[in-house]
Structure 1
Amino acid sequence: MASATQYINCRQCISGSLISSALTIDSNGLIIPNSPLPENTQTIDLKNAIISPGFLELQINGALGFHFAHYGEPATYQAGVRKLARYLPKTGVTGFYPTVPTVSSSVFKEVLPFLKPEEFPDSASVLGAHVEGPFLAPSKKGAHDAANMHIPASSSLEDIYGEENLRNSIKVLTLAPELPGALSHIEKLNKFYDVRVSMGHSAADYEAGKKGMSAGANLITHTFNAMNPLHHREPGLAGLISDPSPPYFSLIADAIHLHPRVVGIAYRSSLTHCILITDSIELSGLPDGIYPGHAQIPFSQLKEGNKVTIENTTTLIGTCIGLDECVRNLMAWAEIPVQEAVRCVTENVADAMGLKDRGKLEVRRRGDFVVLGADGTVKETWILGKKIE
């Protein structure tokens, strides 16, 4: 058995540039120096391919008919998580944050134990939960259930999520910073639980956003969506993205949630802080057609391409885009090459979340990488140095 594998004739996406260099991964799936090589190292010629770190998905609600907020019983729920983890490498994703929108406290406590960081064979890693709510502004609820929303000053974090889940499962939490008690929640999440805080579903003005950042928030959730619009006299949360020290900010680059020109403007405001997300719903990966509703959306759903609406209306439910398509869209709309676009699904996510084990093609990190065409097409996905079929 080979003690390591060296991938030669490849161009690595590093900090927005293409670097011609070999990549060496040991038998444990970790990146090691290219020299000296261990004995019995095998060589794989990638024939001048472009390789990127494995993509990281910061916000995804579900796919293949499975939604992270819909809980029946443990075995079915666990099977759904594993099925989705096995599916995502097809889109270049090697790690993801399953996202639970606003639900009752009892549902949070049911599902979050199954969303703590975990790895499955030949699958994308579960990196921990992204909880989007319930501390959101009802005026910016979007598709969230306002009946389950809470004011931070009136509800403790532990009561809503459970202390065990705050310590072990939740890695990023979206809230509205202008709500009473929100700043103290941000400080506690940041300092006591090491949870990243993202500001979103919010009517905050620019100054409230600055206060949120001072309290410890370092992200904005699906920028421009479910927040006050950018105004020339009051820039709101969106105005933070061009600050000298901006937060990381996520964008849904699907031409449904945002106009392509807006995506280009936002990306140009900070190349190192822009993050692409899908925020995709459970119909992602399924054929077009009409699907039944559920507890959160009690109407029939019409899927047409990436767009899902309530049947016989123009009311948007969500998107079904893949993260690889978001990368290709950014390439086209910002007129940038693939090595620049992939930063927004790799390095920038790792930096935002403080990940030291993935997201960059560096020694001691995981050997997760994606072989890409110059047009951003995913040709192969490798996890821990193993090609996923």
Structure 2
Amino acid sequence: MSITQFINCRQCKNGQLISEPLTVNTNGIIIPNSPLPQDTIQIDLNNNIISPGFIELQINGALGFHFAHYEDPKTYADGVQRLAEYLPSTGVTGFYPTVPTVASHVFHSVLPLLNPTDGEAAASVLGAHVEGPFLAPSKKGAHDAANMHIPANSSLEEIYGEENLKQSIKIVTMAPELPGAVEFMKTLRSKHDIQISMGHSAANYDQGLAGMEAGASLLTHCFNAMNPLHHRDPGLVGLLSDPNPPYFSLIADAIHLHPRVVAMAYRSSPKHCILITDSIELSGLPDGLHPGHAQIPFNQLKTGNKVTIENTDTLIGTCIGLDECVRNLMAWAAIPLAAAVQCVTENVADAMGLGDRGRLEVGRRADLLVLSEEGTVRETWVGGRKVFGGEG
């Protein structure tokens, strides 16, 4: 394998398009553009755009596989692998498998299978996003309230498993107003270096501030499963206006949020905005009726990105791809592609403390995309190898 240099291209850097070559060594790492050996392979991108590979902070499943559903280790591992091989078609080169509120024995079974892993010809598993079980029952959404816990009456080790706190879990979503939540946040940050996101919460603004002081630095699917913004009681959403706001994730699908709300939130702090899909297991499957499961014991009707319970208007979830979220943000906030790309690359890397990916910088992994002007994914490269699009 030779050194590869992409020429005649524009790179997404800090929300801008920069015209310069990009060079990748034989180990799949970005290196300086010179000096170059004689056998360097040059690839002319015809003025197309190179972006860092997209990083998905919250995804529940795809292709019929859901991270909360466990039968046996092999079936589960096969499902994770199948999903990791599918995601590069949507521009994703790294993702945080999201496990919602489940019984503690399920956490103990699935979390060891979600350790950070760099796969071959597939998106990297970056570790688990554990969404629960320390959530407010009044904001449970599709989560099972029977499996929710109060931090003050619980043990992190008993719920998740000590090894999983050390190895697998990279981000926890919890409600800061629950008794004992602030203490859990401090422990997760100081002892385990796990990121804390606030969500599925009825917290008021002051409780949100207390959460940030305890180490929380994100909001999970902002506006959804939290109190609405009120002019006398801004709630967690009010944190977006702070001088040092938290990172906040948005589901830009026009189902969970109105386009104008997405644009308003983005404009409040472009460098803290993160796009997520929060997509469910029907993502990547054809439209029509699909069977339910333990969490949703009804037939599910998939119509485009929207999934509802059969014969009702009850929303189950979305099936949008992260590349479509990027294109939606471009249109709704009237921003260029490079600015929208920040919300699924650099901002996520900053929020999660990732130093090895998420930016087109020397020394980082060559996880990258070739994009059209409109944000269509033409090629996906993982670790310097093409895994989607083009020829070969």
Could you say which TM-score interval applies, normalised by the shorter chain? over 0.9
Q: Shift of the alpha carbon at 1:45? A: 1.1
In the alignment, what sits opposite 2:236? 237
Q: 1:66-111: CA deviations, max 9, x gaps?
A: 0000000111111000000000000000000000000000000000
Q: Is the 8 A contact 1:253 1:278 kept in 2?
A: yes
Distance in 1 of aligned mates of 2:229 and 2:89: 36
In the alignment, what sits opposite 1:105? 104
Q: Does 1:178 align with 2:177?
A: yes
Read off the aligned partner of 1:307 and give its amino acid letter: K
Q: Which aligned pairs between 1:199-218 and structure 2 lie closer than 5 A?
A: 199-218=198-217
Q: Does 1:299 align with 2:278?
A: no
Q: Does 1:126 align with 2:130?
A: no
Q: Shift of the alpha carbon at 1:329? A: 0.5
Distance in 2 of aligned mates of 1:223 and 1:120: 31
Read off the aligned partner of 2:265 and give its amino acid letter: A
If the length of structure 1 is used for normalisation, what is the TM-score?
A: 0.99
Q: Does 1:266 align with 2:244?
A: no
In the alignment, what sits opposite 1:46? 45
Distance in 1 of aligned mates of 2:175 and 2:248: 15
Distance in 1 of aligned mates of 2:172 and 2:250: 16
Greater shift after overlay, 61-70 or 372-381? 372-381
- Matched-pair identity in %: 74
Q: 1:276-302: CA deviations, max 9, x gaps?
A: 000000000000011111111111111
Q: Shift of the alpha carbon at 1:321? A: 0.3
Q: Does 1:348 align with 2:340?
A: no
Cα-Cα RMSD: 0.7
Q: Does 1:223 align with 2:222?
A: yes
Q: Shift of the alpha carbon at 1:220? A: 0.2
Read off the aligned partner of 2:298 and give its amino acid letter: F
Q: Shift of the alpha carbon at 1:39? A: 4.7
Q: Is the 8 A contact 1:206 1:240 kept in 2?
A: yes
In the alignment, what sits opposite 1:148? 147
Read off the aligned partner of 2:374 and give its amino acid letter: D
Distance in 1 of aligned mates of 2:334 and 2:40: 40
Greater shift after overlay, 123-132 or 369-378? 369-378
SS of aligned partner of 1:298 = coil
In the alignment, what sits opposite 1:358? 357
Q: Shift of the alpha carbon at 1:170? A: 0.3
In the alignment, what sits opposite 2:335? 336
Q: Is the 8 A contact 1:337 1:374 kept in 2?
A: no
Q: 1:99-143: CA deviations, max 9, x gaps?
A: 000000000000000001012210000000000000000000000
SS of aligned partner of 2:343 = helix
In the alignment, what sits opposite 1:30? 29
SS of aligned partner of 1:317 = strand
Q: Shift of the alpha carbon at 1:234? A: 0.8
Q: Is the 8 A contact 1:31 1:365 kept in 2?
A: yes
Greater shift after overlay, 238-247 or 54-63? 238-247
In the alignment, what sits opposite 1:369? 368
Distance in 2 of aligned mates of 1:84 and 1:153: 36
Read off the aligned partner of 1:148 and give its amino acid letter: N
In the alignment, what sits opposite 2:285? 286
Q: Which aligned pairs between 1:53-64 and structure 2 lie closer than 5 A?
A: 53-64=52-63
Read off the aligned partner of 2:62 and give its amino acid letter: A
Read off the aligned partner of 2:100 and give its amino acid letter: P
Q: Which aligned pairs between 1:7-18 and structure 2 lie closer than 5 A?
A: 7-18=6-17
Q: 1:313-371: CA deviations, max 9, x gaps?
A: 11100000000000000001001111110000000000000000000000100001111
Q: Is the 8 A contact 1:280 1:318 kept in 2?
A: yes
Read off the aligned partner of 1:144 and give its amino acid letter: H
Q: Which aligned pairs between 1:80-95 and structure 2 lie closer than 5 A?
A: 80-95=79-94
Read off the aligned partner of 1:123 and give its amino acid letter: A
In the alignment, what sits opposite 1:194? 193
Give the gaps of 5 or more residues in structure 2.
none
In the alignment, what sits opposite 2:381? 382
Give the gaps of 5 or more residues in structure 1.
none
If the length of structure 2 is used for normalisation, what is the TM-score?
A: 0.98
Distance in 2 of aligned mates of 1:9 and 1:19: 11
